[in-house]
Amino acid sequence: MSMNRRSFIKLVGAGAGVMSWPSISSASDILPRTGRRVVVVGGGSGGAIVAKYLRIADPSIEVLLIESDKRYIACPLSNLVLAGVRTLEENTLTLDKMAAKHGVKLLYDTVTAVDAGAKKVICSAGAISYDKLVLSPGIDYRFEEIEGYNPATTPEIMPHAWKAGPQTLLLKRQLMDMMDGGVVVVTIPQAPFRCPPGPYERINMIALYLKRHKPKSKIIVWDANENIVAKAGLFRKGWTKYYGYDDKDSTKGMIAYHGNSKLTKVDAKAMAVDNGTELLKGDVINVIPPQRAGIIAQKASVVGPDKKWCSVDQVSFESTQVKDIHVIGDACFAGALPKSTYAANSEAKVCALNIAQTLNGKELIAPSHVNVCYSYITDKEAVSVSGIYIEKEGKTIAVPNAGGLSPDLNEIEASYARSWMQNVMSEMST
């Protein structure tokens, strides 16, 4: 077995503190330390917020945020781009102002490895040491579970568009290029995945576009789950009210929804998908693949035995597997909290406060989280789900008799959703 860099670093991390031949990890810190240091990897909904709120909690802690992209494209509301009622530019932000304002050191780089033993992250610029490391890497895809799926080429033909960006625009272009009367296929993986209501809001936005421009078209949904994962009643109501949907007869209306229909195989050449019992051809095929924690979580060995998500202490968000590495956002398992932008924002704040407590030798603080998620039904109406979350006996649970769903589709929440997004983005960028 050849030793790649990753296994080498793991080996060093395993305890061989003194090695005579040069290693990446023993290289000196590319940034001189100014005191206690927290390194944050990933500048999204979790990472940008944990960096900022660490500095708010204790400005004597040095915080270094490492992010690969200078322009960050946020996911929420990006489904609206498909309907042509929002642009991707409206979802784009930069971290510079926030970093300057709060004294966060911002490094645009890619982290390639983590040496937990030496408490260093390795990025292309070199090694950076930490007292505490926070990983907020978002998601990676389990492409290997879909037969015939080529990670390099299939997304260019059957876009997943599950990270807002070029994939979103590709899916939009495919919808625009499709003839009226075409078939759009959307496949949804088994939960949990990023943004539980996301696939169903996407169906709304594709339907809105088709209704306006290609009304003879059809959307066929294969959902690996038994039923719509979030806001099920409200989504069905919206489909029935605006787009044509009959849960007894899938041949009627624009939207045909099939639960318990798990994608097993794709044929990009034939533009077909397979669920083990049926072969379905589409003109546009949106395959949302099953997911797992982002790649750096895998490299840092903080992914749990399920090989999907990172198991963390529900008070501190410290990995249950590797000391002094905390994982927040979609990559971690946070009990009843969903994999949402708002949950990542909330987890980041809990994690920041508790890292500051730990570094100052103080007791941890009992977490208090909020989740608020909006989904658009049309361009004018939206619905929301909300909840308050606390930790109880090691588990994150929803506070009973609080939160819940919008009673109905409504216009005011469409304006609150836009306003929510302005605040979510401004929290990250200012």
Partner 1 sequence: MKEKIWFYALFAGGVALASSLPVLATTAATPAMLSNTCNGCHGTDGNSAGLSNPTIAGLDSNYFDTAMKQFKSGERPSSIMGRLAKGYNDGELKAMADFFAARKFAAARQPFDAGKAGQGKVLHDKNCRMCHADGGKSGANGALAGQWKDYLHVAIAEFLSGNRKGPEMMTKALTKMTEADIEALINYYASQQ
Single out the residue of 231, 233, 208, 207 nearest to residue 221, CA to CA: 207
Binding mask 322-361 for partner 1 (x = CB under 8 A): --------------------x--xx--xx--x-------x
Contact status: 369 vs partner 1 (CB under 8 A): yes
CB 230 within 8 A of CB 371: no
* DSSP structural state of residue 181: T
Instruction: Pick the binder of partner 1 from 83, 325, 332, 372 (CB under 8 A).
Output: 372
DSSP H helical ranges for 239-301: 295-299
Contact status: 89 vs partner 1 (CB under 8 A): no
Per the DSSP assignment, residues forming a β-bridge with 284 are: 184
CB 311 within 8 A of CB 319: yes
CA distance 229 to 403: 17
Per the DSSP assignment, residues forming a β-bridge with 147 are: 265
Pairing of strands 332-333, 310-311: parallel
**How many other CB atoms are there within 10 angstroms of residue 199's CB atom?**
25
* Neighbouring residues of 87: CB distance < 8 A, sequence distance ≥ 6: 81
Cα dihedral 187→273→248→229 (10° resolution): -20
Contact status: 378 vs partner 1 (CB under 8 A): no
Instruction: Pick the binder of partner 1 from 46, 48, 53, 118 (CB under 8 A).
Output: 53
Closest distance of CB 166 from partner 1, Å: 27
- Residue 396 phi/psi, 5° resolution? -90, 120
Instruction: Pick the binder of partner 1 from 216, 278, 365, 392 (CB under 8 A).
Output: 365
* Segment 160 to 219, residues that bind partner 1, using CB under 8 A: none
Instruction: Pick the binder of partner 1 from 6, 211, 258, 418 (CB under 8 A).
Output: 418
Give the nearer residue to partner 1 in terms of CB position, either 244 or 403.
403
- Number of residues this chain uses to bind partner 1 (CB under 8 A): 54
Give the nearer residue to partner 1 in terms of CB position, either 270 or 412.
412
Contact status: 19 vs partner 1 (CB under 8 A): no
Contact status: 316 vs partner 1 (CB under 8 A): yes
Give the nearer residue to partner 1 in terms of CB position, either 91 or 174.
91
Question: With 0-12 CB in 10 A as exposed, 13-18 as middle and 19+ as buried, what is 227?
Answer: exposed
Contact status: 313 vs partner 1 (CB under 8 A): yes
Give the nearer residue to partner 1 in terms of CB position, either 181 or 404.
404
Site residues (CB under 8 A) for partner 1? 52-53, 57, 311, 313, 315-316, 318, 320, 342, 345-346, 349-350, 353, 361, 363-370, 372, 384, 386-388, 390-391, 394, 399, 401-404, 406, 410, 412-413, 415-416, 418-427, 430
